[in-house]
Amino acid sequence: MADPIPVHSARSPVFRRSFLKTFPSAVRGEGVYLWDSEGKRYLDFSGSAAVNFIGHGVQEIPAAMAEQAKQLEFVHTSQFTTPIAEEYAQELLDFAGANFHGGAVYFTCGGSESVETTLKLARQYQVEIGQTRRYQVLSRMQSYHGSTLGALSVSGNKRRREIYLPMVREFAHVGIPYCYRCNYDCTDGCRNCGLEYAAELEKAIESADGQAAAFIFEPVSGATLGAVVPPPGYLQKIAEVCRRHGVLLIADEVMTGMGRTGRNFAVDHWDIAPDILVTAKGLSSGYAPLGAVIATKKVVDAIASFLHGFTYNAHPVSLAAGRAVLGYLRQRKLVQAADSGGKDTVATKLERSLSTLLDLDTVGEVRGIGLLRGVEFVSNKQTKKPFAPELSFAGRVTNAALKRGLLVYPIQGCVDGVSGDHLLIAPPAVITSEQIDWSAQVLKEAIEEARPQ
């Protein structure tokens, strides 16, 4: 029998993410706080969905956007370039480092558009250099690269893909190092098994029989696994395998970019040099829809005319937001603040505070880097058994935290795409030590409240 038609308890003229729950109406933001229309205050401990990095309500950003809109609100990229696009692109190339010297930036309206762009860029690059058989973009299981059909095809997030599978073109997905639940049952903290995972990629490239164009990966796993940091040597080996096989290396830094992990981009932690880097979210910190594909000189030099475009590419008002955000995070040294390897930074404080959650018997692992952290829940700490998915444990914790005025980002499926509950914690870099202590304490109470009786 078909499932009963759900009762839509919260109808709205807005096509909401869900009609099954009610949403508070947000009216104001300042620093790490958001307020709803009832006057309730929330501490944004997840930066919405790892979006906000510079804090809410920073007046310099809307001022820069308004100034740009007054001067020139829009031109089409088939007819004009703009001073803001030229200047900001150069600033981003400089921010991305020496690997991108002489490259170019393609601006979009967000992460998924940027991933779509990069998939086509990889294909066109291979065609332009005479590698016309190469079109497949390999990726990893338990990954997320966006919600459009191309981005979904290279994503491994089972829940977000499942019903659309008949519509997507599938290429190989390889294993992803997730040391808390290592596929290789290693006993050395994944010191060596990174190389085994990298070998899976090499095998997949060989099986693609000369048709692999690119490999896309999140340097630190974002939403799907919850801030899983790769083991030593893994990313370096991946980069070497791609280079040796003529496969473009695409780093998806939609979530990890623009300082979130304590480096300008997360790849900088491992000194790897991707051919293309995709970023969004923190790029504009949410002040405007914005994404960017940052391509190296090698890629750009191969392409005279890119067969791709959106009407709102390089929208001047969004670029004004992004450029002002970049200026702000540099001036306030927010990348340094997000460095958990630094001395007395808010990121080291966050790491220490969250680690106290391990005292709870429902918290299996607390992981991550910089200001991108994951908290994984288990029903049995010894066996690492997850909670039953129907219990929606991460959702229960989130509701209990929300009640107390704390925002976190719940996700399910880290174990096998269906079971496994975790939270993503990604506060704005302007959070203070006291606010971290308060948040960790409230989160502890919320986890306790969510525990099945």
Start-end of H helices in 172-315 = 193-207, 234-245, 297-301
Q: Is 421 helix (H, G, I), strand (E, B) or coil?
A: strand
Binding of ligand PLP by 339 (CB under 6 A): no
**Residue 110: partners with Cβ closer than 8 Å, 6 or more residues away:** 280, 289, 290, 291
Binding of ligand PLP by 223 (CB under 6 A): yes
Identity of the residue, 17 or 343, whose beta carbon is nearer to ligand PLP in the bound complex: 17
Contact call for residues 409 and 423 (beta carbons, < 8 A): yes
Q: Which stretch binds ligand PLP (CB under 6 A): 72-80, 110-118, 202-210, 338-346?
A: 110-118
Identity of the residue, 148 or 348, whose beta carbon is nearer to ligand PLP in the bound complex: 148
Q: Is 325 helix (H, G, I), strand (E, B) or coil?
A: helix
Site for ligand PLP in 230-289 (CB under 6 A): 252, 254-255, 280
Rounded CA separation 269/261 (Å) = 9
Q: Which stretch binds ligand PLP (CB under 6 A): 61-69, 144-152, 198-206, 267-275?
A: 144-152
Q: Which residue is nearest to ligand PLP (CB)?
A: 111
Binding of ligand PLP by 350 (CB under 6 A): no
Binding residue (CB under 6 A) for ligand PLP from 29, 103, 146, 364: 146
Binding of ligand PLP by 351 (CB under 6 A): no
Read off the DSSP letter of residue 266: G
Q: Which two tokens stand for residue 64?
A: 């820069």
Contact call for residues 345 and 431 (beta carbons, < 8 A): no
Q: Is 80 helix (H, G, I), strand (E, B) or coil?
A: coil
Q: Which stretch binds ligand PLP (CB under 6 A): 198-206, 217-225, 333-341, 357-365?
A: 217-225
Binding residue (CB under 6 A) for ligand PLP from 47, 55, 111, 410: 111
Binding of ligand PLP by 447 (CB under 6 A): no
Rounded CA separation 384/420 (Å) = 10
Count the residues of the shown chain that bind ligand PLP, applying the rule CB under 6 A. Answer: 16
Identity of the residue, 53 or 387, whose beta carbon is nearer to ligand PLP in the bound complex: 53
Binding of ligand PLP by 115 (CB under 6 A): yes
Contact call for residues 76 and 255 (beta carbons, < 8 A): no
N-term to C-term CA, the chain: 32
Q: Residue type for 253, please?
A: E
Identity of the residue, 145 or 373, whose beta carbon is nearer to ligand PLP in the bound complex: 145
Q: Which stretch binds ligand PLP (CB under 6 A): 59-67, 111-119, 330-338, 368-376?
A: 111-119
Identity of the residue, 115 or 450, whose beta carbon is nearer to ligand PLP in the bound complex: 115
CB of 150 to ligand PLP, least distance (A): 11
Q: Which stretch binds ligand PLP (CB under 6 A): 19-27, 138-146, 257-265, 395-403?
A: 138-146
Binding of ligand PLP by 141 (CB under 6 A): no
Looking only at the bridges linking them, the beta strands covering 406-407 and 41-44 are parallel
Contact call for residues 26 and 34 (beta carbons, < 8 A): yes
Contact call for residues 54 and 428 (beta carbons, < 8 A): yes
Rounded CA separation 238/139 (Å) = 12
Binding residue (CB under 6 A) for ligand PLP from 95, 125, 135, 144: 144
Contact call for residues 394 and 412 (beta carbons, < 8 A): yes
Binding of ligand PLP by 103 (CB under 6 A): no
Site for ligand PLP in 11-50 (CB under 6 A): 49
Binding site for ligand PLP (CB under 6 A): 49, 110-112, 115, 144-147, 218, 222-223, 252, 254-255, 280
